[in-house]
Amino acid sequence: MSLINEYRATEEAIKELQERLKSLSQDDKLKKELEFESKLRDLMGEYQKSLRDIIALLDPDAKLSKAPRTGKAAPTGGKRARKVKQYKNPHTGEVIETKGGNHKTLKEWKAKWGADEVESWATLLG
């Protein structure tokens, strides 16, 4: 798109948005919502309450997005739990179980025999 076409398209978009803003500013529902929000914020300030306090008061069971996280992932959504892998070293007969690759012995094996070789020793558990 040429620069002049981009300019004209942007200019047209601005005009459409200004018309939309003008129609919204004349909407009675919006005026009531803005008035309610203003009064609510004034009241919250008067009583030194935050939005979290109001939500906790009105809906004590509400889950806030910044709630403290637990060690385990929730079974419905969230992070998927890692599967346990069992590695059996055919050279030494040693067996280790881990959920991730940040295992000291596993790192040593991969350094000594190579990552592809060590991954071939893995068995997926439960």
What does the pLDDT look like over 41-82, one tens digit per residue? 999 999 999 988 888 888 888 775 555 555 555 556 678 888
In the numeric block, which tokens belong to residue 92?
A: 């030494």
Whole-number pLDDT of residue 65: 56
- Is the per-residue pLDDT at 35 higher than 90? yes
| Per-domain residue ranges of the chain | 3-58, 84-125
For the segment 15-40, the average pLDDT, to the nearest whole number, is 93
Q: Average pLDDT of the chain?
A: 85
- 8 A C-beta contact, residue 100 and residue 81: no
Q: Is 75 exposed, middle or buried (CB count within 10 Å of its CB: 0-12, 13-18, 19+)?
A: exposed
Q: Which two tokens stand for residue 73?
A: 């992932």
Whether the model clears a pTM of 0.75, i.e. scores above it, the answer is: no
C-alpha–C-alpha distance, residues 91 and 120, integer Å: 13
